[in-house]
Amino acid sequence: MSAIDYFEKIPNNVDLANDKTLQRALEHWQPRFLDWWREMGPNDFASVDVYLRTAVGVDAQGWAHYGTVKMPEYRWGIFLADPIADRAIGFGDSFGQPVWQQVPGEFRSQFRRLIVTQGDTEPASVEQQHRLGHTCPSLYDLRNLFQINVEEGRHLWAMVYILHAYFGRDGREEAEELLARHSGDVDKPRILGTFNEPIEDWLSFFCFCYFTDRDGKFQLKSLAESSFDPLARTCRFMLTEEAHHMFVGETGLGRIVRRTLEVMKQTGSDGPEAVRRQGAVDLPLLQRYLNFWFSSSLDLFGSEVSSNAATTFANGIKGRPDETTQYQDHVCADSTFEIEVPDGKGGVMKDTSPMRNAMNEVLRDAYIRDCEIGLRRWNMQIKRAGHNFELKLPSSRFRRAIGAWANIPTDLEGHPVSREEHDRRMPGWLPSASDRDYVKSLMQRVVEPGKMAAWIAPPERGINNLSLDYEYVRLD
């Protein structure tokens, strides 16, 4: 089951060759995908050789093959994790019953909306990053960018397969639309806000991988619990690839911190100007970028209290991350969850919601805890270097556009403040135009094997046990 057939036009482990109708439909979609990749992907690098991993199986061990590939020739395909024998529904009203191999008619539109929303984010990120290759800080980083790009392309395939295989004509139309919407497009933007934010520099890219891709990880984890088994299996395998994207974000930001600390040591100063004179990223600047991407990504989880979230949980459509191992009560029929909402008088008050309605908030809380891990690590580096500076995640009430705190001005700690105070202090909270200009000025491409740009430290090791000065991308 776990072997992937690479002799097929579309590599897969779903026995596509024996479903001619589906095979034809997907072979019809494939050239459109390739057109989209050529137009919206890292198209200026279509002819270069890149050291990439490609999925060749779905076992946790040894699932990937590494080798040199030109990106348009990457073998995008359909790979589902192996089925779990006698898998039962893990949460909601049908807890304990057998999982579904088809979408129940009554849940069809809810499933479709979730799959399309997830699917939309995958090509969106490729579009957002489409010009970054020109300003890479090293060949190692350039390769990682391209690895993420081809895998997000494959994640699009993963969702398109589900749409084509289980949603008939509606599914085929949605698959077309996934290639028609574009990040930041005025007329046909991507569905979710953060996926329309431009990513024009590598500091933003690493923040995106750390915060926004991590939202993807949590959405996939909760879909991997779904009672609709093909969707659960698809998402389980996507998570295997996703781990590298988290790694790129976390080590990217960690290397920036390390480089900044080196500069602070060399110059004997921790003033932002001194750090900038050496062409590195001062820590307050990094903090403002973290504030931006974290707060933007929090909105992706939706409203704190949501009847939609309650329905998808009750119906067994979308569970919680690690539903089986992290929770005792999988039905949540009578439990409650405490949330903090504005009290309408400029303060904060506690409110109690039925647990099922608070599932977005449960997910967001788990996400925030996961985001904190990297910050703890970076703060340890800063402390060990003898500096009295701590990177912090802003409050989840800060700069929200969705939910109870939407458009309520607060400071970074989440205390409600007047609109006037909020606007006055904002330049200290989010990257200013001059911050962005400075970061832009750092984005000079470095492509000599083993060399790094001055604003980022080298990684601890190369890819797949290769040395750091390996030519991960052959540009000529």
* 236-to-58, 105, 367, 395 alpha-carbon distances in Å: 10, 24, 18, 31
Task: Please name the residues in contact with 407: beta carbons below 8 A apart, sequence gap of 6 or more.
Answer: 400, 401
Q: How far is the CB of 23 from Fe ion (least distance, A)?
A: 24
Alpha helices in 315-358 (DSSP H): 323-326
Tokens of 408: 């309520």
Q: How far is the CB of 206 from Fe ion (least distance, A)?
A: 13
Q: Does 127 bind Fe ion (CB under 5 A)?
A: no
Side chain identity at residue 439, one-letter code: V
Beta bridge partners of residue 51, listed in sequence order: 68
Residue with tokens 């090293």: 138
Q: How far apart are CA 171 and CA 385, in angstroms?
A: 54
**Nearer CB in complex with Fe ion: 245/356:** 245
Tokens of 301: 């989880």
Q: Are 203 and 439 in contact (CB under 8 A)?
A: yes
DSSP 358: G
| Contact track, Fe ion, 165-204, x by CB under 5 A | ----------------------------------------
Q: Are 363 and 387 in contact (CB under 8 A)?
A: no
Tokens of 343: 């009290």
Beta bridge partners of residue 228, listed in sequence order: 100
Q: How far is the CB of 169 from Fe ion (least distance, A)?
A: 26
Tokens of 476: 């000529």
**Nearer CB in complex with Fe ion: 217/397:** 217
Select from 213, 229, 323, 361 the one that contacts Fe ion (CB under 5 A).
213
The CA-CA-CA angle for residues 395, 251, 200, to 5°, reads: 75
**Nearer CB in complex with Fe ion: 152/174:** 152
| Contact track, Fe ion, 223-242, x by CB under 5 A | -------------------x
**Nearer CB in complex with Fe ion: 141/242:** 242
Q: How far apart are CA 414 and CA 399, in angstroms?
A: 9
Q: How far is the CB of 233 from Fe ion (least distance, A)?
A: 16
* 348-to-233, 296, 363 alpha-carbon distances in Å: 41, 21, 21
Q: How far is the CB of 356 from Fe ion (least distance, A)?
A: 27
**Nearer CB in complex with Fe ion: 141/152:** 152
Among 103-111, 120-128, 386-394, 457-465, which window interacts with Fe ion (CB under 5 A)?
120-128
**Nearer CB in complex with Fe ion: 234/287:** 234
Report which of 290, 306, 321 is spatially closest to residue 399, judged by C-alpha positions. Answer: 290
Q: How far is the CB of 346 from Fe ion (least distance, A)?
A: 39
Total residues found in the chain within this entry: 476
Select from 154, 155, 233, 259 the one that contacts Fe ion (CB under 5 A).
155
| Contact track, Fe ion, 242-281, x by CB under 5 A | x--x------------------------------------
Q: How far is the CB of 128 from Fe ion (least distance, A)?
A: 12
Q: How far is the CB of 155 from Fe ion (least distance, A)?
A: 4
Q: How far is the CB of 121 from Fe ion (least distance, A)?
A: 7
Secondary structure element (H or E) that encloses residue 13, with its range: none
Among 206-214, 345-353, 388-396, 424-432, which window interacts with Fe ion (CB under 5 A)?
206-214
**Nearer CB in complex with Fe ion: 53/288:** 53
Query: Where on the chain is the footprint of Fe ion (CB under 5 A)?
Result: 122, 152, 155, 213, 242, 245
